Amino acid sequence: MSALVGIALSLTAAMVVAAVGLTVFRMLTGPGTADRAVALDLLGLLAVSGCALLALGVGTIALLDIGLGLGLVGFVSAIAVAGLMARSPQRLPEPPAPPEPPEEEPRT
């Protein structure tokens, strides 16, 4: 492996690790269920890209099969989560009632 390919793999691996960190942050602090589901799907995609990077770095084709399996499992899990979200809609809290105006005293 040439030095340029090694540098490119290192930079790409650093970007994938940074993306994993940001995705985990989004999954933990996401305001809704849909945000967490998208973050989980993105984590699966990042795992596939990590397997591909590792396969390039090590030179083993078997890691690409593992990435393919992760991609298929991630796809099926995304479909399952979308089905669950469609069946149970998120209940939003009702907005507070507006304050009633104060009663005026009758004029005499």
- Which two structure tokens, joined as six digits, stand for 38? 């998208």
Domain count, the chain: 1
pTM over 0.95: no
pLDDT in tens, 19-50: 999 999 998 987 888 888 899 999 999 999 99
Taking the C-alpha atoms of residue 26 and residue 7, their distance in angstroms, rounded to an integer, is 29
Asked, for residue 61, whether it belongs to a domain, the answer is yes
Kindly state whether residue 14 falls inside one of the protein's structural domains: yes
Q: Report if residue 46 sits inside a domain.
A: yes
- Asked if residue 11 is part of any domain, the answer here is yes
> Is 93 a member of any domain?
no
Distance CA 13, CA 52 (A): 10
Determine, yes or no, domain membership for 20.
yes
Find the range with the poorest average confidence among 2-6, 8-12, 22-26, 85-89: 85-89
98 part of a folded domain: no
User: Does residue 99 lie in a domain region?
Assistant: no
Mean pLDDT of the region 80-106: 75
- In angstroms, rounded to a whole number, what is the distance separating the alpha carbons of residues 53 and 3? 16
Domain that holds residue 55: 3-87
Distance set, CA 29 to CA 20, 22, 45 (Å): 14, 11, 20
49-72, pLDDT tens digit by residue? Answer: 999 999 999 988 999 999 999 999
Contact status, residue 5 vs residue 31, Cβ threshold 8 Å: no
